[in-house]
Amino acid sequence: MGKFIAVVGGIVAMAGGLALVIVSATFRSAFFDIVLGFIPPILFFGGLIGLIAGISSIKDAKRTKKLEQETEPKKAE
């Protein structure tokens, strides 16, 4: 379950980062320039890392399950 949360969280964070980049084009104060200058990249790249980690974890779980299924009949013999 945590793998899927990582994937969904990564996608949400990436979308939030992109949305903040778009919003930053409309608001131009010094505070927003500073905040929107570093938060969107952190969200985007953090989300990308979460997405990659979640997908990798799902692939590892599938690979482990497949290896367990392959070795199971050999134990019975």
77 pLDDT above the threshold of 60: no
SS3 state at 28: coil
- Count: domains in the chain: 1
Identify the domain containing residue 9 by its residue range: 2-76
Q: How far is CA 11 from the centre of its chain?
A: 6
pLDDT digits (tens, 9 = 90+) for 11-68: 888 888 778 777 766 666 666 677 667 877 888 888 888 888 888 888 998 999 988 8
